[in-house]
Copies of this chain bind each other. A is one copy, B any other.
């Protein structure tokens, strides 16, 4: 499967399995092994002030973590969930939403993959930022868990 096909496949999986992502208009923009980028238009995700709704921002940041782990594991059947998260809303998002999940240090990814393979369950902390005009508008730090499908 080409990289582009893999992105479209993850996007279709989001839309089919998590109906809210369709309502949000979530797109999988790019993945280069170092970072996964998701986008969503403001028209579907604004709040009462005309900026991005905090709930949409939390949702897309969470999805970026799920998507990163599916791509990293190369296995969309893995049961990925979020255990806890801390979110800072630093500044309003005024245009489209663009969420970036950056790959953690290699040692962190290696421990996660090794636990997933040996114990059938891996935990990893991921950082996701929503960026606009070169600034981090929202920062999420989340503890994600992937469980091997039985």
A interface residue numbers (CB < 8 A to B): 13, 17-20, 23-24, 43-49, 53-56, 58-60, 62-63, 79-89, 92
A75 to B54, CA, bound (A): 20
A19 to B48, CA, bound (A): 9
Partner of A20, one of B13, B53, B62: B53
A16 to B99, CA, bound (A): 25
Count of chain copies: 2
A53 to B18, CA, bound (A): 7
A82 to B53, CA, bound (A): 9
A87 lies within 8 A of B84 (CB): yes
B79 lies within 8 A of A89 (CB): no
A54 lies within 8 A of B79 (CB): no
Q: Which 10 A-B pairs have the closest CB atoms?
A: A55-B59, A23-B23, A58-B58, A17-B48, A54-B82, A55-B62, A84-B88, A54-B62, A86-B86, A18-B47
B82 lies within 8 A of A84 (CB): no
Beyond A13-B48, A48-B13, A86-B86, whether A20 also contacts B81 by CB under 8 A is no
